[in-house]
């Protein structure tokens, strides 16, 4: 297959590009590096089946030659990133998704959307099944991301109904691993960076809020399984083991042997209280489930951050 990956220079996108190349696909990666990093794909540039296009997909998505599948991942994903780029986030979720869908339509290609557990907002139902419609504050600060992704799901489903585009939707829950930006503000990257540099771990609120953390290799296997199917879903892709933010802080301190203290900061507006996916649909239809537990996933991630101390320093300075 020849696969166009938007956002391929980001954390998840670069792992997806790598996985596709590994199994013999060709990849056209499109990115504007607004939140990605050229370092993520630097090792791929010499691969004969890898092409890179610097492009803002909110403006247009043009790929010369055949395209068999489109994986649309372009979008800021970390809360500080999308709060810093609110209008760009709305644009890439709406116009960017439409441009990527039109590329799939022109080429009669499979299209998968990287949607998010954020479409459930601060869920009133726990754990979350795909049939739950969500609880989103449409005018709150996080809405620029949540509502953009809800629109992206709506327009993708409409392209499937109206134009017969072979659309599939992944609702991704918190995913972590190597190549997260050390200072992207997400909880796993923040805690590991803080622990390794001896800074206090910043727990927002009382730390009792929960998330379910999925290791990147597991998540990418799920995206590839969705790409290879012709299912619409939506599919929750995430690890169903739920942890409090305080538990995560303890695990990171234990794993790094850090003596960093813990400092509490105010909880951000509309920060969801609980988050855990039901993954029965992905398990039964895609034959997918996560295999890497948090201890092993954090061990690999800490090893990556420790080996890239230069990245910690460069990212802190920028
Ligand atoms: P990321 O910020 O590392 O990657 C996003 C990439 O998209 C970056 O390389 C960025 O430069 C690129 N991009 C953004 N706007 C663009 C534009 N207009 N044109 C071209 N490129 C653009 O984030 P990530 O964690 O890798 O997330 C990838 C996708 O997965 C996003 O769509 C995100 O919403 C979704 N997702 C991620 C998670 C997670 O936990 N990592 C959870 C839910 C959903
Ligand atoms: N969080 C925290 N300290 C940080 C960053 C995040 O306590 O330095 C909390 C945040 O308030 C949220 C959880 O960790 O409750 C997950 O945050 P993240 O930004 O990783 O993902 P999201 O909120 O999008 O699930």
**The pLDDT value given to residue 143:** 97
For residue 318, the model assigns a pLDDT of 57
Q: What percent of the chain has pLDDT over 70?
A: 97
Q: Which long-range contacts (CB under 8 A, 24 or more apart) does 138-144 make?
A: 140/269, 140/270, 141/83, 141/86, 141/268, 141/269, 141/270, 142/79, 142/82, 142/83, 142/118, 142/269, 142/270, 144/82, 144/83, 144/86, 144/87, 144/89, 144/90
Does ligand 1 have an atom closer than 6 angstroms to the CB of 10?
yes
Does the global pTM surpass 0.90?
yes
Is the minimum distance from the CB of 114 to ligand 1 under 6 angstroms? yes
Closest ligand to C-alpha of residue 10 is 1
Q: How confident is the model at residue 313 (pLDDT cuts 50, 70, 90)?
A: low
In 136-197, beta strands by DSSP E: 166-172, 175-176
Gap between the Cα atoms of 311 and 294, Å rounded: 23
CB within 8 A of 219, min separation 6: which ones? 12, 172, 175, 237, 238, 290
Per the listing, tokens 């939707």 go with: 169
Q: Looking at this predicted complex, what is its ipTM?
A: 0.99
> Which residue numbers are catalytic?
145
Q: Which residue's alpha carbon is at the smallest distance from atom 33 of ligand 1? A: 77
Q: Taking phi first (over 0 means left), then psi (-120 to 50 degrees means alpha), and beta for anything else, what does residue 191 get?
A: alpha
Question: Could you tell me if 195 and 253 are in contact, meaning their C-beta atoms sit under 8 angstroms apart?
Answer: yes
Using pLDDT thresholds of 50, 70 and 90, give the confidence band for residue 310: confident
The string of pLDDT tens digits covering residues 211-270 is 999 999 999 999 999 999 999 999 999 999 999 999 999 999 999 999 999 999 999 999
CA of 267 relative to ligand 2 center, distance in Å: 9
186 CA from centroid of ligand 2 (Å): 6
pLDDT, one tens digit per residue, over 7-32 is 999 999 999 999 999 999 999 999 99
Tell which atom from ligand 2 comes closest to the C-alpha of 203. Answer: 7
Instruction: Say how many Å lie between the CA of residue 121 and the centre of ligand 2.
Output: 14
Q: What is the pLDDT of residue 293?
A: 98
The residue-averaged pLDDT of 128-151 equals 97
Render pLDDT for 197-218 as a digit per residue (tens, 0 to 9).
Answer: 999 999 999 999 999 999 999 9
Confidence class for position 185, pLDDT limits 50, 70, 90: very high
pLDDT at 155 over 90: yes
Q: How far is CA 24 from CA 44, 47, 112, in A?
A: 13, 11, 19
Query: Which ligand has its closest atom nearest to the C-alpha of 210?
Result: 2
Cβ–Cβ contacts within 10 Å for residue 161, how many?
Answer: 11
């Amino acid at each position: 297959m020849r696969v166009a990956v938007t956002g391929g220079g980001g954390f998840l996108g670069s792992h997806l590009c790598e996985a596709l190349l590994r199994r013999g696909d060709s990849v056209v990666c499109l990115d504007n590096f607004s939140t990605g990093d050229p370092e993520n794909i630097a090792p791929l540039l010499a691969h004969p089946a890898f092409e890179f296009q610097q492009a803002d997909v909110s403006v247009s998505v043009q790929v010369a030659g055949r395209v068999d599948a489109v994986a649309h991942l372009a979008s800021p994903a970390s809360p500080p990133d999308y709060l810093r780029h609110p209008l760009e986030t709305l644009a890439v979720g709406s116009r960017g998704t439409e441009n990527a869908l039109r590329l799939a339509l022109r080429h009669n290609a499979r299209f998968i959307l990287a949607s998010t557990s954020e479409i459930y907002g601060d869920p009133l139902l726990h754990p979350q099944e795909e049939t739950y419609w969500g609880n989103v504050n449409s005018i709150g600060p996080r809405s620029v991301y949540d509502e953009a992704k809800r629109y992206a799901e709506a327009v993708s489903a409409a392209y499937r109904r109206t134009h017969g585009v072979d659309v599939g939707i992944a609702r991704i829950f918190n995913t972590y691993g190597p190549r997260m930006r050390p200072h992207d503000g997400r909880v796993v990257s923040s805690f590991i960076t803080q622990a390794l540099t001896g800074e206090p771990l910043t727990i927002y609120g009382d730390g009792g809020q929960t998330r379910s953390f999925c290791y990147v290799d597991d998540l990418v296997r799920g995206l590839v399984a969705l790409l290879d199917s012709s299912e619409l879903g939506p599919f929750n892709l995430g690890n169903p083991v739920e942890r409090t933010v305080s538990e995560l802080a303890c695990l990171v301190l234990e794993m790094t042997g850090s003596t960093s203290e813990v400092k509490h900061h105010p909880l951000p507006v509309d920060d969801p209280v609980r988050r855990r996916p039901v993954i029965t649909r992905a398990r039964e239809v895609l034959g997918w489930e996560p295999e890497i537990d948090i201890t092993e996933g954090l061990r690999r991630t800490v090893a990556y951050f420790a080996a890239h101390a230069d990245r910690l320093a460069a990212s802190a300075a920028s």
